[in-house]
Chains A and B, each alone.
Chain A
Amino acid sequence: MKNKEQKFKKVYEQSKDKIHRLCLGFMGNKTDADDLFQEILIKVWNNLNTFRNESSIDTWIYRITTNTALLTLNRKTKLNKKEIDYQPNIPHYEIENLNSTDKEQEVKKLYKAISSLKEIDRIIIGLLLENCSYDEISNITGLKTSNVGVRINRIKKTLSKKLK
Chain B
Amino acid sequence: MEKDITNWQNLWKEEKSTPLDLNKLITHLNKIEKKGKLERIILLAAVPVTIIVLATLLPILSNIYYLISIIIISFGMIMILIQSYRSKYSLISNDAKLNNKKYIKNIIHKLKQRMLTTSRYMWFYTFLLVLGINIGYIAILQKFNISITVRIIIHLVFTVLMICIMYYSIEKRKKENNKIILPLIDFLENLN
Q: Which residues of A contact B (CB under 8 A)?
A: 1, 5, 8-9, 12, 16-17, 19-21, 24-25, 34, 37, 41-43, 45-47, 50-51, 60, 63-64, 66-68, 70-71, 74, 77-78, 103-104, 106-107, 110-111, 118-120, 123, 126, 128-131, 139-143, 156, 159-160
Contacts and interface: CB of A to CB of B under 8 A. Distances in A.
B100 A67 contact: yes
Contacts of B24: none
A65 to B, nearest CB: 9
Contacts of A46: 33, 36, 92, 95
Given A21-B13, A78-B183, A8 B26 contact: yes
A42 B25 CA distance: 9
Interface of B: 1, 4-5, 8-9, 11-18, 20, 22, 25-26, 29-30, 32-33, 36, 92-104, 107, 183-184, 187-188, 191-192
Given A17-B16, A46-B33, A131-B9, 19 more contacts: A9-B22, A16-B20, A19-B17, A41-B25, A41-B29, A47-B92, A47-B93, A47-B96, A63-B99, A70-B103, A77-B187, A110-B12, A126-B12, A128-B5, A129-B9, A142-B101, A159-B8, A160-B1, A160-B4
A21 B184 contact: no
Contacts of B30: 1
A83 B9 CA distance: 34
14 contacts: A8-B29, A16-B20, A20-B18, A34-B18, A45-B29, A46-B92, A64-B96, A68-B95, A70-B103, A74-B187, A107-B14, A120-B192, A129-B8, A160-B1
A40 B14 CA distance: 21
